[in-house]
Amino acid sequence: MATSYQLHNCGIRQNSFLIPGSGSRTSVLGLRWSESQFFCKTHAPYYRLGIIKRKCRHSAVIRATSSGSDYYSTLNVSRGATLQEIKTSYRSLARKYHPDMNKTPGAEEKFKEISAAYEVLSDNEKRSLYDRFGEAGLQGEYDGSGDYSAAVDPFEVYNAFFGGSDGFFGGMGEPGGFNFNLRNNGSNDLDIWYELHLNFEESIFGGEREIMVSYLETCNDCGGTGAKTSSCIKSCTDCGGKGGSTKSKRTPFGVAIEVSTCSSCGGKGKIITEKCRRCSGYCKVKVKRSMRVIIPPGVADGFTKRIRGEGNVDKKRGFAGDLFVVLRIGVKQGIWRDGLNLYSKINVDYTEAILGTVVKVETVEGIKDLRIPCGIQPGDAVKLSRLGVPDVNKPSVRGDHHFIVNVLIPKDIRDA
């Protein structure tokens, strides 16, 4: 059943609630002329899309009809989620439901929904339209099917996000992953996330690594317009340069006007007749750059180092994003980490456990002597002090290496 919203107290309300939020399709019925003047001033997006066009005897009514699942719920994020929170959620969910990794029924459909949600919420312009108009604001993105997810290629979104790989194993032959989405050229996101893999010893002692980063910068040939020349940019004839179109329908309550983004220009109001040869109309080009990264001692898996001003470059606006290097730590057989301490398991003969002994053990600093006290019990631990992990914020503080003793007891004493 339709939900009605009336002009009331200088705003559109229904039981003290404002205009319907995202996740609903919105159509606006006619306004009294005096009310429409206030409406177009306070709700400029509707006016720009041509919602208010003529007089009508009826008060303003907004009719909302439910649509598909909410994109925020699909990605398990709140409506106030930051771009990084959206990316983190997409990264996890995309891997979980990718058809090549998840063969359970419904996984592929879930993967498509996740991709469609990320495609919208990761783009500032699309997210703004979705927050205001719901999926109705995205109608220009599909061919009248009413299902935005059907128009999105989930594998293209996945490959664009992970740089042609899954992000953990690098992309384009480079040692670490990086994320670029050339399709979201209207987004304000200029940051780059790069995953750098270290071996276990590098995470303990730190060091330097040289990485090759691919980043986006504004195309110099077209100046970020995406067109071969300025004469190749024309006003969209379908929408008259407004970026949106309206469809009127007479109802018992007045004239209903449905709003949709222009399918010809995608809501931009401009059409490029001939694309720039260098960037193929994306407005940006991918450039590679070598960079040296200093790794502090004691870093843990997931440690992120921020390098300001080394992200994607938007010369047109004079902005540069930041480079975030996420460290992924390899495992070392026989040694594991818990906080600043390292742990290993060792075996000793029962006679050595009774009498005590000295054994050779492996540490991150090579082979060391470990004294086993007499009378040690199975499961007891002996430590080598200050052979653990340095505190990343205070390297002078260092943990210990603990060795958990397993006493080998023969089943028959005669076998000893």
What backbone torsions phi and psi does residue 367 show, to the nearest 5 degrees? -80, 130
Report pLDDT for 284: 86
pLDDT per residue as tens digits for the range 97-113:
887 778 788 888 899 99
28 and 259 Cβ atoms separated by less than 8 Å: yes
pLDDT per residue as tens digits for the range 134-145:
776 665 544 444
State yes or no: pLDDT of 367 exceeds 80. Answer: yes
pLDDT per residue as tens digits for the range 204-216:
999 999 999 988 8
Question: How does DSSP assign 10-59, residue by residue?
Answer: SSEEBTTB-S--TTEEEEEE-B-HHHHHHHHHH-HHHHHTT---SB-SSP
Token pair belonging to 277 = 């040869």
State yes or no: pLDDT of 372 exceeds 70. Answer: yes
Q: Compute CA distances 176 → 105, 173, 194, 198, 329, whole Å.
A: 32, 9, 6, 10, 12
How does strand 24-29 pair with strand 284-295? unpaired
pLDDT per residue as tens digits for the range 41-81:
444 444 444 443 333 333 333 333 334 568 999 999 999 99
Mean pLDDT computed over 89-96: 88
pTM tops 0.75: no
Report pLDDT for 156: 74
Report pLDDT for 283: 87
Report pLDDT for 257: 72
Strands (E), 333-410: 336-338, 341-349, 357-363, 366-372, 381-384, 390-391, 394-398, 401-408
313 — pLDDT class (breaks 50, 70, 90): confident
Neighbours of 61 (CB within 10 A): 22
Token pair belonging to 121 = 């919420």
Token pair belonging to 146 = 């009413």
Q: Which residue bears the tokens 């109705």?
A: 136
Helix (H, G, I), strand (E, B) or coil at 338: strand
Distance between CA atoms of residues 183 and 49, nearest Å: 24
415 — pLDDT class (breaks 50, 70, 90): low
163 and 171 Cβ atoms separated by less than 8 Å: yes
State yes or no: pLDDT of 152 exceeds 80. Answer: no
pLDDT per residue as tens digits for the range 257-303:
777 788 788 888 889 889 999 998 888 888 898 999 999 999 999 99
Which domains can be identified in the chain, with CATH numbers?
Answer: 6-66+239-260 (no CATH), 70-162 (1.10.287.110), 184-226+275-330 (2.60.260.20), 336-415 (2.60.260.20)
82's CB contacts (< 8 A; 6+ apart) are none
Which residues does residue 342 pair with via DSSP β-bridges, in sequence order?
A: 337, 401
Report pLDDT for 27: 37
pLDDT per residue as tens digits for the range 224-258:
889 989 889 999 888 888 887 677 777 766 777 77
